[in-house]
Amino acid sequence: MNVEEIVFDMLRENTGRHMCDSGGAYGRNWERNQSLTIEACKQAPTVTYEHKWGYTIDVFQYLVNRLTLDDLCERFNTKCVPASDWDSDYYGVSRNGERWLKAAGLVPHHEFSSAFNTYNHESNLSQILQGEFLSHQDSSHESYVLLQIHGGCDARGGYTDARLFECDPYEFLCENVYGAVIKPDGTEIRVSNTYDGYKLTCDDDDSDTYGYGEEVEIGEDDKVELECLG
């Protein structure tokens, strides 16, 4: 399977029902995703914008533009998924999967040793991600991520089994978006979220309306075009 197929399967993976979530009222992520097709996911924009809620980064596009597979990943994802249990030091991995990773020489990344959950910081991804970065114990040139996608409703439960991917940990959690706010009169203001990682601010030194890094006011009649690049 390639990265697109694996991520698509993870989005639709049955992560169960948990007493803490309220998914029965409007559907859990994995339940809503049953209507998705992989072609629709491939064609989806990387970022959408709603005036009421702001911008949302499509998690499928975000992942397929950041993840790759090597032989090690393919063997782990074949041999250790689905996980028979999660009785290991890694989220979403069985004890057998942990032994497999250690035998392959993969250990927590020397600079990214702690696990992450995107729910715990500012994130505009369409679904929560959880995981841990790994690297070879004798080298930091190749980096990996053990990744779970949240398929439930409440963030405390409802995650997929972890899959192993190659990635650059410095870029993986970077949710930078770029684009433009287009006013009704055609005036275009270049924007990005790179100033503070969250708000859409002016990304043009020559703007007549806003200073660089100043938050751009977006009206109901403004058109917003954004993208998130890997």
DSSP code string of 32-55: HGGG--HHHHHHS-SEEEETTTEE
* Each residue's pLDDT tens digit, 61-107: 999 999 999 999 999 999 999 998 988 988 899 999 999 999 999 98
For residue 39, the one-letter residue type is E
Quick: pLDDT tens for 25-53: 556 888 889 999 999 999 999 999 999 99
Of residues 24 and 58, which shows the higher confidence score?
Answer: 58
**Collapsing DSSP states into helix, strand and coil, what is residue 11?**
helix
Instruction: Enter the pTM of the model.
Output: 0.91
